[in-house]
Amino acid sequence: MNASRTAVLAGCAVVLGAVAVVSMGVGAQALAPAQVWQALVSPGMSDADTIVRDIRLPRMVLALAVGAALAAAGALLQTATRNDLADPGILGVTAGAGFAITLGTVLGLTGTQYGQLVVAVVGAGIAAVVVYSVGRSSPLRLLLAGFALSMVLAGLSLGLRLIVPDAFDRFRFWSVGSLAGREQIPLTVPIVVIVIALVGSLMVARQLEALLLGEEVAQSLGVNVTRTRFAVLVLVTLLAGAATAVAGPMVFVGLIVPHLVRPLARNSVPWLVAFTIVLGPVLMLIADIASRILLRTGEVPASIVLAVLGGPVLIWVVRDRRTAPL
């Protein structure tokens, strides 16, 4: 069985590679895959090479990191809360990061990439704890708590940005989740954090799987329940916070991807996490490519593409008879 899943995972990785190459070819200046390959392998000084190296490659890497981070965060959240509707965007975790960044900018804390990252992660963590403690008792309540908190924070963010026009100007574009125009920002720190957290997610997945059997069973299997739950909270916070810090608020990636890959993973949490890490970036890249195609004169923010795709998936999930009653 493992062999077949490995083969499928390898196939997914190939798909990811293909989509990544396509994403570097699509845009205002269309490039053939051969040109993209040329620019990657033996970069010269031609226009195509410059476009790929300075704009499209960083943007592709960003999509990989953000997509993997949000999808893995969604998979962890859905498993840990046993809630098919869990998603860092829907549960208000990204809204917490977003509000923290707006507040941090007003207070002058987000000048450096470390500052922005720390502020975003702290905001995401606080939001996660608040939503979880309010909505713990049922999936619907969790969803509503996230929705309500997102609303409050969105209103407060807009209010803050109107009071401090300077912050408004800087965050006008950030406040809509998008991958455009972020190619020049130094991304090393957030991406390193995301990679470490992804490795951590894979490591915690087995303990999480044991937790699904019930706390007593998990304990008898030698799993430290409290430590596992805490690790999941920290990982989700890091992943969602870092992704939001670089790309702005994105919803639905964490919801859609785990649902799509669940049949492939066949009830194994480690495989679920592995598949979401590979296929999350595929969705993010497709949304990013669509964001460049849908509008002739400019770009649709990727978050809008994701919301248009994600709404129907959410409906499909709640209509699905197999999902737990709300």
Partner 1 sequence: MIVLRSGPVSVRFEQRTVRMTVVLVVLAAALAVLGLCQGAVWVTPGEVLAALAGQGDSSVIVVQWRLPRVVGALVFGAALALAGAVIQDQTRNPLGSPDMLGIDAGAYTGALLVITGFGSAAAAMPGLLSVAAMAGGLLTALLVYGLSLRSRNRGKLIVVGIAVNATLTAINAWIVLRAELEVAIAATGWSAGSLNGLGWDDLGIPLVVLGVLAGTLVVLSRSMNQATIGDEVAVATGVRLGPLRLVTVLAAVGCTTTVTAVTGPIAFIALAAPQIGKRLFGTSGVGLLPAALTGGVLLLTADVTSQLVLAPIGLPVGVMTTAIGGTYLLWLLIVQVRRRTH
261 touches 276 (CB < 8 A): yes
Closer CB to partner 1, 28 or 32, in the complex:
28
Piece of 60-68, 151-159, 205-213, 242-250 that binds partner 1 (CB under 8 A): 151-159
Q: If you search the block for the tokens 């990013």, which residue do you land on?
A: 288
Q: Tell me which of 107, 212, 221, 318 binds partner 1, using CB under 8 A.
A: 318
DSSP state, 181?
A: T
Tally of CB atoms within 10 A around 13: 13
Identify the three-state secondary structure at position 7: helix
Piece of 195-203, 212-220, 233-241, 293-301 that binds partner 1 (CB under 8 A): 293-301
Q: Tell me which of 50, 58, 109, 141 binds partner 1, using CB under 8 A.
A: 141
244 touches 98 (CB < 8 A): yes
Piece of 65-73, 75-83, 99-107, 140-148 that binds partner 1 (CB under 8 A): 140-148
Q: Tell me which of 40, 113, 147, 182 binds partner 1, using CB under 8 A.
A: 147
143 lines the binding site for partner 1 (CB under 8 A)? yes
Q: How many residues bind partner 1 (CB under 8 A)?
A: 47
Helical H segments across the chain, by residue range:
2-25, 33-41, 47-50, 57-80, 93-107, 113-135, 139-163, 165-174, 188-212, 215-220, 225-247, 253-265, 269-293, 302-319
Tally of CB atoms within 10 A around 23: 25
- Annotate each residue in 8-47 with x if it binds partner 1 (CB under 8 A) or - if it does not, as one string: ----------------------------------------
Q: Tell me which of 57, 62, 93, 145 binds partner 1, using CB under 8 A.
A: 145
Closer CB to partner 1, 7 or 326, in the complex:
326
> Which of the residues 159 through 188 are near partner 1 (CB under 8 A)?
159, 162-163, 176
- Shortest distance, CB of residue 66 to partner 1, whole angstroms? 18
Q: Tell me which of 251, 253, 278, 284 binds partner 1, using CB under 8 A.
A: 251
Q: Tell me which of 10, 28, 158, 199 binds partner 1, using CB under 8 A.
A: 158
131 touches 91 (CB < 8 A): yes
> Which of the residues 253 through 292 are near partner 1 (CB under 8 A)?
none
Distance of alpha carbon 146 from alpha carbon 81, whole angstroms: 13
Q: What are phi and psi of 265, to 5 degrees?
A: -80, -20
Burial class (CB in 10 A: 0-12, 13-18, 19+), 172: exposed
Which positions ≥6 away from 139 have C-beta within 8 Å?
A: 81, 83, 84, 85, 86, 324, 326
Which residues contact partner 1 (rule: CB under 8 A)? 85, 134-137, 140-141, 143-145, 147-156, 158-159, 162-163, 176, 251-252, 294-295, 298, 300-301, 303-308, 310-312, 314-315, 318-319, 325-326
